[in-house]
Structure 1
Amino acid sequence: MSVEEFHISKLVLDKFCVAGINYHKAGAATRGMFSITPECFGDIASSAKAAGIKSVFVISTCNRTEIYGIADSVLQLVELLVPHTRGDKNSFFEFGYFKSGEHALDHIFNVAAGLDSQILGDYEILGQLKRAVDLSKKYRLVGPVMDRILNFVYQASKKIKTETNLSNGTVSVSFAAIELLQQTPDIENRAVLVIGAGKFGSTVCKNLKTYLPQTSVTIMNRTDETARALGEANKISFARYSEISAEIEKADIVVVCTNAKEPTVFPDYFKPGAEKIILDLSVPMNVHPDVKNASGIKVTDVDQISKSILDRTLAIRKAEVPKAQAIIDFYKKEFSTWLHEYHYALHLKTWKAKLNEIDTLHTQVCEFYNDKELIDETERVARAQKAVKQLAVNLKLRNDKGCQFISIINDYLQTR
């Protein structure tokens, strides 16, 4: 790439900006002040068009709100975003980040790959990014440069997903519990009691039916009707909460998801010598501390599950980061190649049309050609396409650009 080409490419890339706020510096309450709904984006889109900005989109999740755009300054994006939130500029400048050029490009690649997620390798962010871009496209606010950036970002994210283990393994406590149970000998013939039919308990029940379909599962909850409905929805047994002691006695494994402020499972629910596995997934712990002292009872809490399963998963994912970064570097180079050729694109399109015009005029008015010798439109277009393709190659490989346009006309007219 020549110095001139590098300068032009850098001028274009430097206009790619991102301003955002995320979990790194801002708590949930602060992040919430800057959240954006799809409906709000319509107002942002109108403001962007009024400001002459042709490419912009906003991604807003529980962990981040970011505005990306092609602008003269990243501060233009701040002016677009903040007035449409419940936050203020002072807070945004205190907790936010502001990047342009290469730094902004690195950021969007890392975000899409899950490298910047609160849980390393979280692939959900890519779907959220795509939905944000699709919304912006409805307002015609994704131009050719932004579109090509996103194209390479998507390709990199997909390759990282399929060719590395960055997103593999268990990262949720509810699924970690299932993975722990899968390691239990003869799990197919064990009876599992789930106590608590809230959101967490519901997820546990669904995972049990999906990943341990042969295992007997019973659900109970302080509100019997809630447990009954969950049981029917997942085709598992239901037991009344008043029978908690008897149901614990019948179970081999008890999963506690009650999330109450005080313990809900007590030592007197267990007969001496009974062997049982207790998974306490509640915060704070809902299994009374003395239950651990009972003979034959093994209690595992959330922290222990995190240590045994989640920490191992994150260690595996961290080892995959260099592979992911190498893939990102490859696609960044691909984008750089495309970008430094892009400024010829409009000229090439114009020259293709001009060659067609010259050819039509030349064959129609010159007395050397009769009607039988006139080429049809399909062949004319093919010849022009071939000539422009060669011009693109010459512009890329040779520096005498002024001569290229004259040469291409001569070569084109001599091709019959």
Structure 2
Amino acid sequence: MTIFALGINHRTAPLDIREKVAFAPEQMMEALQGLADAAALKEVAILSTCNRTEIYAEGEQADQVLHWLAQQRRISLEQLQSCHYLLTDSDAVRHIMKVACGLDSMVLGEPQILGQLKSCYAVAREAGKVSTVLNQLFQQAFSIAKRVRTETAIGQSPVSVAYAAVSLSQQIFSDLRDVRALLIGAGETIELVARHLQEKGVREITVANRTLSRAQDLAEQFSAQGILLSEIPDYLHRADMVISSTASQLPILGKGAVESALKLRKHKPIFMVDIAVPRDIEPEVAKLQDVYLYTVDDLQAVIDENIRSRQSAAGEAEDIVEQGVVGWQSQLRALNVVDTIRAFRSSAEEARDHELEKALASLRAGQAPELVLKSLARNLTNKLMHTPTTRLKQAGEQGLTEHIDLAHHLFGLKKPDDGSES
């Protein structure tokens, strides 16, 4: 049994590669099925966020996974080979647990990744690609993440990508109470952005989303206005700040729309943060004068200033993760024993069924029931004893006393030298 984690993240790959290999939610089911077939994987799950795309699987064909990913996302194999990582068995388990705890995130200890990992697990289960091994692994990872949250202080200070985006805006605007904000998307990240902006007293918030009802539901929480994505050109010129985070595979905001807005604003600057992967705002927008466009990778400097308080808690979290790895190894050994027990039981049941059929045939032929039962008991005993007895004799001849001692332990036998029969 081989478990592996293969992927790229914010440490190994730039944004332009990460956005190429990102999977939209509506693509995930088909991707799971295609990957499982292409690499002959027993179990598989795919995690795709703004900072990482990772594949967790049980199987032997990790190299085929990389080839599939390159072909599926139309990216050269050489590019992926230069920035991917592959972890197996205990190293893979440790990595997944660290991801769940936020220890491998750009924002140390950020809580959103746990929800994203749970969603990854749920989708893979729905697709029928998670069973015994990955199920136990995910459950162990979730349990360890909960312990880290409750037993350490890693999540106490407000550090997240959303928080970093709002903190960066405070370096641009002296007073957010004079700022109008346009938020694109209505997911968890944008909700966090809206909450932080409201706490900072921002003057006005508008939420734009593909679904109007979702935009309005989110806007209502913050006394904001909800609009459709198609209405953005009508509102963009009013926005001093634009923060975007959607799951769109194509840009939401192009250079032309921003140029038009700047003209209406008489070139009053606009601050923009694109948290999405793939990007929501065309990179060419950054070339416009009076636009300050930042991506998720640009937030690292802000984040670094805010994670120092979490460093000591991270050490405690690492210790809990190591306990989780040990626990997983114990569970894995138990799974291996289950397979052995299943094989042993199957062998015994096969012998039973064979001898039972012979006994029933004898009864139908008119043989005396007492003789049939005695023959059944004798033959079944001989069959069950044959292989263990042969192996024990061989162990004795070869001087393998530890095998003989193990047989006494497994079958609860008393040794002859204690005065009792074995």
TM-score higher than 0.5: yes
Q: In the alignment, which of 150, 170, 185 is matched to residue 158 of structure 2?
A: 170
SS of the aligned residue for 2:146 comes to: helix
Partner of 2:418: none
Structure 1 pair 318–143 and aligned structure 2 pair: CA distance change class (3 A): same
Q: Could you say which residue in structure 1 is the equivalent of 2:7?
A: 20
Over 3 Å counting, the alpha-carbon distance change for 1:142 and 1:232 in structure 2 is closer
Where do 1:291-370 residues align within 5 Å? 311-312=305-306, 314-349=307-342, 354=348
Kindly indicate whether the alpha-carbon contact (under 8 Å) linking 1:35 and 1:61 is maintained by their aligned counterparts in 2. Answer: yes
User: Quick check: 1:144 aligned with 2:137?
Assistant: no
Matching of residue 199 in structure 1 with residue 203 in structure 2:
no
Paired residues in the alignment total 291
Q: SS of 2:107's equivalent?
A: coil
CA distance in 1, matches of 2:134, 2:128: 12
Shift, 1:79, TM fit: 2.6
Kept after mapping to 2: 8 A contact 1:194/1:257: no
Distance in 2 of aligned mates of 1:263 and 1:25: 33
Residue 44 of structure 1 contacts residue 81 of structure 1 at CA under 8 Å; is this kept in 2? no
Correspondence 1:15-164 to 2 at 5 A: 15-38=2-25, 39-49=27-37, 51-164=39-152
Cα deviation, residue 284, structure 1: 4.7
Distance 1:349 1:164 in 2: 41
Shift of 1:159: 0.6
CA-to-partner distance for each residue in 1:162-184, whole Å, 9 max, x for gaps?
111112211258758999xxxxx
> In angstroms, what is the RMSD of aligned CA positions?
4.7
TM-score by length of 2: 0.56
Greater alpha carbon shift after TM alignment, 33-42 vs 331-340: 33-42
Secondary structure of the 2:57 match is strand
Distance 1:329 1:45 in 2: 32
Change (3 A) 1:89 1:218: closer
**What is the one-letter code of the residue matched to 1:171?**
V
Matched letter for residue 338 of structure 1: Q
Q: Closer, same or farther in 2 for the Cα pair 1:235/1:156, shift >3 Å? A: closer
State the TM-score, normalized to the length of structure 1: 0.56
**In 2: Cα distance, 1:311 partner to 1:403 partner:** 62
Residues 195, 77 of structure 1: alpha-carbon distance in 2 compared, 3 angstrom cutoff:
same
| Letter paired with 1:311 | E
> 1:279 maps to which residue?
none
CA–CA separation in structure 2 for the residues paired with 1:230 and 1:127: 21
> Which consecutive residues of structure 1, in runs of 5 or more, have no partner in the other structure?
1-11, 180-190, 223-228, 239-255, 265-281, 286-301, 369-397, 411-416
Counterpart in 2 of 1:403? 407
Runs of at least 4 residues of structure 1 off by over 4 A?
A: 172-179, 200-209, 229-232, 234-238, 256-264, 282-285, 350-361, 364-368, 398-402
Give, in angstroms, the shift of residue 193 of structure 1.
Answer: 3.1
Q: Is the 8 A contact 2:180 2:202 kept in 1?
A: no
Quote the Cα distance in structure 1 between the aligned partners of 2:51 and 2:41. 26
Distance change (3 Å), C-alpha of 1:63 and 1:178: closer
**Equivalent position of 1:277 in the other structure:** none
CA distance in 1, matches of 2:28, 2:218: 39
CA distance in structure 2 between the aligned counterparts of 1:17 and 1:148, rounded to whole angstroms: 14
Deviations 1:47-104 (A, max 9, x none): 4235432111111111111112122242122133222113221110112112223322
Instruction: Give yes or no for contact 2:33–2:127 (8 Å, CA) kept in 1.
Output: yes
Structure 1 pair 77–50 and aligned structure 2 pair: CA distance change class (3 A) = closer
| Contact 1:197–1:230 (8 Å) recurs in 2 | no
State the AA in 1 paired with 2:44.
Answer: V
What are the equivalent positions in structure 2 for 1:249-328 lying under 5 Å apart?
A: 257=241, 262=268, 284=292, 311-312=305-306, 314-328=307-321
Shift of 1:219: 2.9
The Cα shift of 1:44 comes to 4.1
Deviation at 1:325, TM superposition (A): 0.8
Alignment of 1:224-263 (within 5 A): 233=220, 257=241, 262=268
SS of residue paired to 1:193: helix
Equivalent pairs: percent with the same residue? 22
